[in-house]
Structure 1
Amino acid sequence: MALHFELVTPERLVRSEEVHMVVVPGTEGEFGVLQGHAPFMSTVRDGDLAIYKTENGEPVKIRIEGGFAEVNEKGLTVLAERAEG
């Protein structure tokens, strides 16, 4: 099963795709999100968002600055103040 992931900034939708897992730089520490994760909300610190398209694949990293991450029944949405890429 795939996780629906969206990365959004105030200017644009950066990514919207089905992925295996995303590791988010939360303010309380990094956390990984897979399909079926419990509902969750966190603030995000500046750092690299790691997107794993497949279980054993190398991650695509995108530098983000600040914002929020929300996990719900639809998937993971990261609302970043800025994103490179």
Structure 2
Amino acid sequence: MANLKVGLVSPEREIWSGEARMVVAQTIEGSLGILPGHAPVLGVLLDGSVVRIEPADGGETISAMVGSGFFSIAADEVSVLAEQAELGEEIDVPDARRALDEAVAAESEDSTLERRARARLRAAGVEV
């Protein structure tokens, strides 16, 4: 069975790269599941969402919080280019909870901080 070649990067570093069976990303138009053989697409990531990657080796699903950015699909290659990204396994859950509490308390019209804090917790496996 064919696999996808996936790269998830931010300006600071490469977050994850490797072979995958499937990638799920949330776009400004909705959720998109990407399997081998997918048509070419260029999309805009939903700021404060979670990208999930199913590794080809059958390992644990990779979850990462992403800030705004783009993804592209072409010839079974998926590139996720995020302004901000963090692997779920690297997230300090108590710190993420504090950030969410602070964002909610701020009651700002700009909900970016709250969306990103919620996405960090979801990527770490905590439902909010």
Q: TM-score, normalised by structure 1?
A: 0.89
* Greater RCO (Cα-Cα under 8 Å, separation 6 or more): 1
The aligned residue for residue 36 of structure 1 is 37
Instruction: Percent identity, please.
Output: 36
SS at match of 1:63: strand
Larger proportion of helix: 2
CA gap 1:74/1:58 in 2 versus in 1, 3 angstroms: closer
User: How far apart are 1:6 and its partner, in Å?
Assistant: 0.3
The Cα shift of 1:38 comes to 0.6
Shift of 1:36: 1.2
Distance in 2, matches of 1:26 and 1:10, equals: 20
Structure 1 portions without partners, runs of 5+? none
Q: What's the secondary structure of 1:37's corresponding residue?
A: coil
Superposed CA deviations along residues 9-46 of structure 1, whole A, max 9, x for unmatched, are: 11111111001000001110110111111100110012
**Which residue identity is paired with 2:12?**
E
Counterpart selection for 2:65 from 63, 66, 69: 63
Task: Give yes or no for the alignment of 1:24 onto 2:37.
Answer: no
Query: What CA distance in whole angstroms lies between the structure 2 residues aligned with 1:23 and 1:70?
Result: 12
Specify every segment of 5 or more residues in structure 2 that has no aligned partner in the other structure, as ranges: 88-128
Supply the AA of the counterpart residue of 1:35.
Answer: P
CA shift, 1:50, in A, is 0.8
User: By how many angstroms is 1:59 displaced?
Assistant: 2.7
Aligned pair count reads: 85
Structure number with higher strand proportion: 1
Q: CA RMSD in A?
A: 1.9
Aligned twin of 2:111: none
- List structure 1 runs of 4+ shifted beyond 2 angstroms: 56-60
